[in-house]
Structure 1
Amino acid sequence: MPRIDSEAFYKNAIKKHGITPAGVCWLSYAHQQIRFETICELLPDNLETFTLTDAGCGFGDFYLYLQNAANKPKQYIGIDSIDAMCTIAKQRTSQDIFSQDITNSELPVSDYVICSGAMNVLTPFETIQFMQNCFKASKKAFIFNILYGENNSATYNYLTQESLQKIASELSVADMRLREGYLDGDITVGFFK
């Protein structure tokens, strides 16, 4: 069970902010773009020969970011548990978008699986399930950002470097790469095979 009712949480954000970064609970467009840039630092410079799954795709903003950067993957698949977001993402991207609970589902296999922010409202147990499923579905790496630090928020999920290393060890990650310092309280992690 999530810390909060995710569907109500995101539906309220969409109602209040519309199809904007705030509508998927990002602080701002600039912060969303910084997170996308940081994820891309861990992806190949040219994605045209690779498949990519966006776990927790929201409105499809990461795909649009890649499209604007002229770096679309060979195939993009978006997955989100909120049906309204899936509908919007499909309209905005014209890509394969699926409604699915990533914490307890087998995901389509892709070269890379990315996640930007979707684990921020999960419980620690759900976060591990989410990471396991995404890492299992990746041929090369699972790359994600998550809130970072020692914070016992009732709403948001924060991880420490120690907890990330423990999860990586349990998943038999061959190479864990970290990017931090780009935004306060945020970290981007690559679990490479």
Structure 2
Amino acid sequence: MQIMFTSFYLKCINSLLIRTYRKNVKKYGFTPRGLFWNSRKSQENRFKILSKLLLKYSKTIDKEIRIADIGCGYGDLNSFLLKNFVKKFSYKGYDINPQFIDYCKTLKKSNENFFFVSDHPLETCDFSIMNGTYNYAINENIYRWEKYLIHNLEKCYKHSKIGIIFNLQHSNSTKIENSIFYTSRSSMEEKLKKIFNVVNSFYFNTTPNDVYYVILDS
């Protein structure tokens, strides 16, 4: 019964998220605001930090880094990495929203085979990256939203050879406010350490409202 409930619950959450993002894109267009981001500048600041963390934890990789972008939205992380990332990499973008994947394929015709409808990597990668993927909470039940978040992290972890890197909004205490999920850094780290081998967390001045987690296999 628990497995059936989990499967049904996850499908419901994904369906509601797809519907919500479609409405938001209809209102604001394919802009950062359509993805519930404040601005392109804040988005770029997060990309810079994710790139920094990728470099830090990929020093042992001599060949290209295989990156899976989970919740890829418009595929902007790929565009940023192509311009700014100093190491060779391969990229696959995944999103549960078919509208976003269709948009990516239309916009980036030369890379149209790099985008897929999924909530996890469909093949083995080195790192799964989630940039704000779990910020927008479709309900106000903290326990259920954390359960949804961690379930998805576990799925991605299984397909990630080295680990996963993701960010969340943070607060002194865990809460959902105006549909945004805020985590307590220490509380989330404690939960993650019960499941994963190695968990590190970071703050950066350029994104003061975010906490970044790096989960490694060893």
TM-score between the two structures when normalised by the length of structure 1: 0.86
Task: State the distance in 2 between where 1:78 and 1:120 align.
Answer: 18
The yes-or-no answer on 1:41 pairing with 2:59 is no
Share of identical aligned residues, percent? Answer: 23
- Structure 2 residue aligned with 1:77: 92
Compared with structure 1, are the counterparts of its residues 3 and 49 closer, same or farther at alpha carbon in structure 2 (3 Å cutoff)?
closer
Larger relative contact order (C-alpha < 8 A, sep ≥ 6)?
A: 1
> Which residue identity lines up with residue 107 of structure 2 in the other structure?
R
Moved >4 Å (runs of 4+): 45-48, 70-73
In structure 2, distance between residues paired with 1:154 and 1:119: 14
* Native 8 Å contact 1:54 1:114 kept in 2: yes
Q: How much is the aligned-residue C-alpha RMSD, in angstroms?
A: 2.4
2:81 corresponds to: 66
Q: Which moved more, 1:55-64 or 1:2-11?
A: 2-11
Question: Which SS does the other structure have where 2:13 is aligned?
Answer: coil
What corresponds to 1:191 in structure 2? 215
CA contact (8 A) 1:3 1:154 kept: no
Equivalent runs, 1:135-146 vs 2, <5 Å: 135-146=157-168
Number of residue pairs matched by the alignment: 190
Query: Which consecutive unaligned segments of at least 5 residues does structure 1 have?
Result: none
- 1:114 aligns with 129
Per-residue deviation, residues 142-181 of structure 1 (Å, max 9, x unmatched): 0011111133325122211123212321223324142344
Larger relative helix fraction: 2
How big is the shift at 1:114? 0.3
- Greater shift in the superposed pair: 43-52 or 10-19: 43-52
Pair member with larger Rg: 2
**TM-score, structure 2 length as denominator?**
0.77
Match in the other structure for 1:182: 206
Q: Partner residue of 2:43? A: 32
